Amino acid sequence: MAAYSYYQAGAYDECVSAAQRYITLHPGSADAAYAQYLIGSSNFDEIPDITRDQARTEKALGTLEEVSRKYPSSEYAASAKQKIEVARDQLAGKEMQIGRYYLEKKDYTGAINRFKVVVTRYQTTRHVEEALMRLAESYMALGIVEEAQTAAAVLGHNFPDSVWYKHAYTLVKTGGGEPTENQGSWISRAFKKVGLG
């Protein structure tokens, strides 16, 4: 297939065009799953580093999720799922980078908004532990102790051995509180929604 040749040569745009053309002409063929996988893999291979715009990462995520959704029993589904997790981790990492920037500039509301995205959309990534700790830090800086306590409690409940939990625990204790979960908090609801809490 021409798309595979382009993919092997690193000509990703040509690969995507050839694969899309194939899917359009032969949507029900046995090779349609592979063509869709090549589109996803081409986008995935062009994911930029975390400091750059993540539009390619979003595109890779969308095309790989399509492989997983349309062709769940294909031989490409498992590989697509692995790449989906990497792409999601990349997007969470970008949110963390921006959140840390806002935190450094003492724009606590901006920081909270970025860490909230990680907690609500990217809970299965490696960044969620730090996001919860940074939420505790941001809320403490704003004097919203109850939310800080909830962030620390959810972190401790779900990741008791995490170094981030130790930081959050110390931060909340230093502020005169205890990690205590407020069931009405958006943080508690977010974790309950996906069954982590």
pLDDT score at 197: 44
pLDDT at residue 183 in the model:
87
- 65 and 113 in a single domain? The answer is no
Q: What CA–CA distance (Å, rounded) separates 167 from 177?
A: 14
CB neighbours of 157 closer than 8 A, spacing ≥ 6?
181, 197
Domain count, the chain: 2
Residues 138 and 74 occupy one common structural domain: no
3-state SS assignment for residue 11: coil
Angle subtended at Cα 121 by Cα 172 and Cα 184, rounded to the nearest 5 degrees: 50
Question: Does the residue 29 lie in any domain?
Answer: yes
pTM comes to 0.89
The two counts, helices (H) then strands (E), for the chain are 10, 0
Residue where one domain finishes, among candidates 32, 60, 87: 87
Per-residue pLDDT tens over the stretch 51-106: 899 999 999 999 999 999 999 999 999 999 999 999 999 999 999 999 999 999 99
Q: Could you say which of 87, 120, 153 is where a domain stops? A: 87
Contact of 180 with 150, CB cutoff 8 Å: yes
Domain harbouring 32, CATH code: 1.25.40.10
Question: Is 92 within the bounds of a domain?
Answer: no
| Domain range enclosing 136 | 106-197
pLDDT less than 50: residues of the chain: 195-197
Q: Is residue 66 part of a domain?
A: yes
Helix axes 128-142, 163-174, angle to 10 degrees: 10
Say what the pLDDT of residue 81 is.
Answer: 96
Q: What is the pLDDT of residue 152?
A: 96
The pLDDT of residue 196: 46
